[in-house]
Amino acid sequence: MGSIRRDKNAKPDMRTTMQLGAVLSKTAEVRNGHLYVGGVNMAELAREQGTALYVMDVAQIKQQLRAYKEALGEDNIVAFAGKSFLNKAMVRLLAAEGCYLDVSGGGELAIALAAGFDPKHVIVHGNNKTETELTEAIEAGAGLIVADCFEELERISRIASARGITQSILLRIKPGVVADTHTFMTTGSEDSKFGFGITDGWAERAAAQALQLPGIALKGIHVHIGSQIFAISSYADTIEVLANLTENLSKNCGFTPEIIDLGGGLGIAYQAADEPTAIQELGQLITKQLPKAWEQRGLPLPTIIVEPGRSIVGTAGLTLYTVGAIKDLKDIRCFVAIDGGMTDNIRTALYDARYESVIANKADRPRDAIVTLAGKHCESGDMVAIDASLQTPEVGDIVAMLATGAYNATMSSNYNAQVRPAVVFVEDGTATLVQRRETYTDLMARDI
C-alpha cells in the first residue's frame, strides 16, 4: 500500500468539544474538563469497560425515531435499517418505540426474532437471499419480503406455496436516480446490482409475474437511492419516477401499489462544517409531494414506508480509544496510535470517511494539534483520522471519535484476530453493557 495522503496546509481549528455542532449527540456536555454523554463520564467509562468501546446515546436514538414518526404521520411507517446498527438491545428499543425493522439477511432476522420482535413488523431485504434465508423469513411470518430479481420471485412462490402461506412482497425498483453521495453508496441508478429497472421494462414484467404466481401477494414497490444524502431533491425526483411507474402499473398490469417504500439514506454531520437536512424537512417533502403526485394521476394514496438507519444512530454513537503511543515525525506527521482501528471502523479506509475526534479527558481545551489517529493493525492504511484537529495528546488519554454509531459496529471484523469491542448504552447517568467484548475463546469458537 502506498503512503498516506498528507495535507501540508492543515491547521488546528482550535475548537473545543462543544463547538463541534451537529456532530455531537444531543446529550453531550463538558463537566470539569471531561466529556459526558447521556450523563455518563466518557473517560471514566473507558477505564471501567476498556477500549476500544462503542457507546450509544439512548435518548438521541429515541429522539430521532420519534422525529421520523412525527414527520411521516401516524398513517405511515418508520422501519429502522438494521444494517446500520443492530443487537438485541436495539431491537427491544425499536419495539418499545413502535417502529418496524428492515433486515438484510438471515442473521439480522435471527437477532430480531431472538429479541422477541414481532415478525409482522419485519421487512426482509437482500439482492441474493438464499433459499435458507427466504425459508426462514417466510416460516417466521415476516411482514414483507422485498423481491430483488425474477429468480427470487419464483423461490418465494415455491417456498410459500409448499407451506400453504401467502407471502406479502414488495418489488425492489431501480428508479434511475443518481443520489449526490459517494459512488459506493449509490444504489438507485440503472447501473446497480439491486432491483428491477424501469426503462428496460423489467419493473412491469416483474409486477406481471408476481401477480400470477401462487403464494405471493404483491403489495407495493420499494426503492433505495443511496446513503449519506444531503441533497433531498433526489427524493423529489424519485417520487415523480414512482408516480409515473405506479400509473403505468395500474394501466398495464391492473395493479395499484398499496405501499410505497422510499428506503432511507438521509445524511448526518460527520464534520463540524456539515449541514445535513433535518428529518422534518425530508418528512415535509415526502408527505406533501407524494400525495400531490398521486392525486394528479388519480391514484389512491398508498401507505408510505421510510427506512432510516444512519440518521437514527449515527451521531448517537461514539467510539472510545486509549492513546498507546505517539510518534511526532517533525515536518512529516504526528502519528497518535490508538487501541483500535480498521477492525472497529473500516469506513475511513473504505470510503475515505472523515470524522471529528476529541480527547474525552481534555474536552474543555481547544483542539490545538494536527494529528493522524493510527490504528493498531498490520496495514499502512489503518488510519481512522488523517491530519485532523485534536487536543494535544498524551499517552493514556481517552480519544472519543464522534458520530460512529452507524456502520461501525456492524462492519467490524476480526482482522489480525482482534476481538470486537463491547457496546454500552448510556441514558440518564446510567451506563448499561448491552453487548460484551469478544474474547479469544470467541475467536476460536468455530475452529474444529
Which 3 state secondary structure label does DSSP give 242? helix
Relative to beta strand 303-306, strand 77-81 is parallel
Told to judge if 149 belongs to the known catalytic residues of this protein, a careful annotator would answer no
Which amino acid is present at 98? Answer: G
Q: Among candidates 349, 265, 361, which has minimal Cα distance to 322?
A: 361
CB 402 within 8 A of CB 20: yes
Q: How far apart are CA 279 and CA 260, in angstroms?
A: 18
CB 292 within 8 A of CB 28: no
Which of 99, 253, 334, 378 is labelled catalytic? 378
Which 3 state secondary structure label does DSSP give 49? helix
3-state helix/strand/coil string of 375-402: CCCCCCCCEEEEEEEECCCCCCCEEEEE
Dmax (CA) for the chain in angstroms is: 71
292 CB burial (10 A radius; 0-12, 13-18, 19+): exposed
Q: How far apart are CA 77 and CA 72, in angstroms?
A: 7
Q: Among candidates 227, 300, 228, which has minimal Cα distance to 270?
A: 228
Q: How far apart are CA 411 and CA 424, in angstroms?
A: 17
Q: How far apart are CA 310 and CA 312, in angstroms?
A: 5
Q: Among candidates 154, 147, 158, which has minimal Cα distance to 203?
A: 147
CB 330 within 8 A of CB 338: no
Which 3 state secondary structure label does DSSP give 356? coil
Catalytic residue numbers read: 378
